[in-house]
Amino acid sequence: MIKKYDFDGFENPYSTFKRKELGERLARAQRLIGNLSIPVLIIVEGWESSGKGYVIKDLVRELNAKHFKVSVFENPTEEEQRRPFLWRFWNEIPGKGDIAIFDRSFYFKLFNDLTIRDEELEQNIKEISSIENQLLDDRTIIIKFFLHQKEETQQKRINELKEDPYRSFMISERDENQNDHYNQYLNHFDSILEKSDFTFSKWHVISSEDKKDASEKALGMAIDLIHQGIDRIMGMKNGGQRKELRDYSPEETPLDNVNLNLKLDDKEYDKRKDELQVEAQRLAFQLYTKGIPTVLVFEGVDAAGKGGAINRLTREMDPRGYEVVTTSAPSELEKNHHYLWRFYKNFPKKGDMKIFDRSWYGRVMVERVEGLAETEEWDRAYDEINQMEKHLHNFGTLVLKFFIYIDKDEQLKRFKARETEPDKIYKLTDEDWRNRKKWDEYIDAMNEMLVRTNTEFAPWTIVEGQQKKYARIKVLETFIKEAREILDKTD
């Protein structure tokens, strides 16, 4: 992509326009995407000292400051290193109608590591392709610029900056190092650009030999690419689905095979419970000391006993080490972003445990059944979820998902009990009764979910919930087994 780049062949078809004029046209494009509620992500990558700052300044100059944000990504801070690779980028994705400009991006780490192993590179590119794909599917326009310059130009710019008393601090070892090994980096960049030049999201290499030229080209291309993006999205909207919906006919319906007769007698329950809770605490503490993050997901039919199971699981654990995250209907701000955005924010740091009482699976259950998500949206969510959980897994996260099941009669019994017990009445809502009416539809959605998101790296455990005691013990035992396994691997 850049190895044989012809600097002299750099054309600037926008040079007939003034930058101010281009800026104003970009501002109009911004109002357009604002009206259409389309998010725009502009990535500006390139050599060190290639003028990224200069180009970004020109890009935003005429924009409405309320609706753009520039995010600078440097080497990850200590805090950021304790999170999965994509975490900090997900936090900064644009909302609907906004423009996010990334000064460096998720490519930064790859570009800067000459000695990255092929395997790791492959995995990172895969993860990057999944975030780009997911944002594109969510109607985001992604524009990727790479600012390219000659070895001698870089050298000259580094020298100039070094001599400027106010700006010399901007030159780091990284700049000098790149310049000292220009050809090595050239090959490295080229190969990464090649690998990440996805058909759905291409790179645009811009020569920054002349910064003014580069700015004009970036402005002009941004305008054109936004218009092309709008065109693509309008196509999506007018029924032109991105892809065929997967023709899904369930071969398995795991919930039909749940054995609802499983029971424990009180004596056995009491005996095992105490031991298991102490052991769960011991293992949670070890996960903490070894810096292993844990994500536990609890889903199930209403009144299946999620809260009780969580409570019994965490009973002996140090409350400073875990947090229960409740998932309810998304806020306006959350609706304004990709639906996974709010969950990414909440993923645990190394050593922490987050327990999700309901989760991102709402997308393929309640949002699907109640028509809160379009078919195309929930249909692609299975892949998106699998990719996200894979990303957590790749970071070393222990991901466990529990689905607690009770049958329709048992649910009715529990609803009625809640109506009469003063300490429980707060648990019963109108929504519960509403969902109950759609029991069969929910079961279908749940069956499909359990099959399509049951992966090796994030498997479902179906918990027979008819007897609460049995369910609680099974959750404890499963956690213990899986925690031991991951701990053994890290020994």
Q: Kind and range of the H or E element at 408?
A: helix 408-420
Instruction: With residue 281 as reference, give the H or E element that holds it.
Output: helix 266-289
Q: How far apart are CA 265 and CA 254, in angstroms?
A: 26
CB of 310 to a copy of itself, least distance (A): 6
3-state secondary structure of 266: helix
- What is the end-to-end Cα distance of the chain in Å, rounded? 43
Where are the strands (E) in 348-465, listed by range?
353-357, 398-405, 460-464
For the bound state, the minimum distance from the C-beta of residue 459 to a copy of itself, rounded and expressed in Å, comes to 24
Structure tokens at 51: 């003028």
Closest separation in Å from C-beta 257 to a copy of itself? 31
Q: By C-beta, is 25 or 368 nearer to a copy of itself?
A: 25
3-class DSSP state of 324: strand
* Beta carbon of residue 239, minimum distance to a copy of itself (angstroms, whole number): 29
Residue (390 or 414) nearer to a copy of itself, CB: 414
What span, in angstroms and rounded, lies between the C-alpha atoms of 365 and 378?
9
Between 321 and 396, CB nearer to a copy of itself: 321
The smaller minimum CB distance to a copy of itself, of residues 20 and 246, is found at 20
**Nearest CB to a copy of itself, comparing residues 24 and 441:** 24
- Closest CB to a copy of itself among residues 227, 393: 227
**Smallest separation, CB 74 to a copy of itself (Å):** 11
Which neighbouring-strand residues pair with 299?
Answer: 403
Tell the residue number behind the tokens 């395997």, with chain if given.
119
Q: Are 218 and 20 in contact (CB under 8 A)?
A: no
Binding site for a copy of itself (CB under 8 A): 28, 31, 34-35, 53, 56-57, 60-61, 64-66, 68-70, 72, 77-79, 101, 103, 166, 169, 285-286, 289, 307, 310-311, 314-315, 318-320, 323-324, 326, 331-333, 355, 357, 423, 426
E strand spans, 6-104: 40-46, 68-72, 99-103
Closest distance between a copy of itself and the C-beta of residue 206, in Å?
Answer: 18
In whole angstroms, the minimum distance from the beta carbon of 152 to a copy of itself comes to: 26
Sheet of 68-72, strand order:
68-72, 99-103, 40-46, 141-148, 203-207
Phi/psi at 318 (5° precision)? -75, 120
Nearest distance from C-beta of residue 158 to a copy of itself, angstroms: 19
How far is residue 327's CA from residue 485's CA, in Å, rounded to a whole number?
A: 28
Q: How far apart are CA 204 and CA 206, in angstroms?
A: 6
Query: Min. distance of Cβ 60 from a copy of itself in angstroms?
Result: 5
306 or 380: CB nearest a copy of itself: 306
Residue 60, token pair as written in the block: 């935003």
**Alpha-carbon distances of 77 from 44, 88, 110, 174, 259, rounded to whole Å:** 20, 10, 17, 17, 49
On the 0-12 / 13-18 / 19+ scale of CB atoms within 10 A, 9 is: exposed
**Joined tokens for residue 29:** 């494009």
How would you label 354-373 residue by residue, b for 16+ Cβ within 10 Å and e otherwise? bbbbbbbbbbbbbbbbeeeb
SS3 297: strand
CB nearer to a copy of itself: pick between 261 and 289:
289
Residue (159 or 326) nearer to a copy of itself, CB? 326
* CB closer to a copy of itself, 452 vs 472: 472
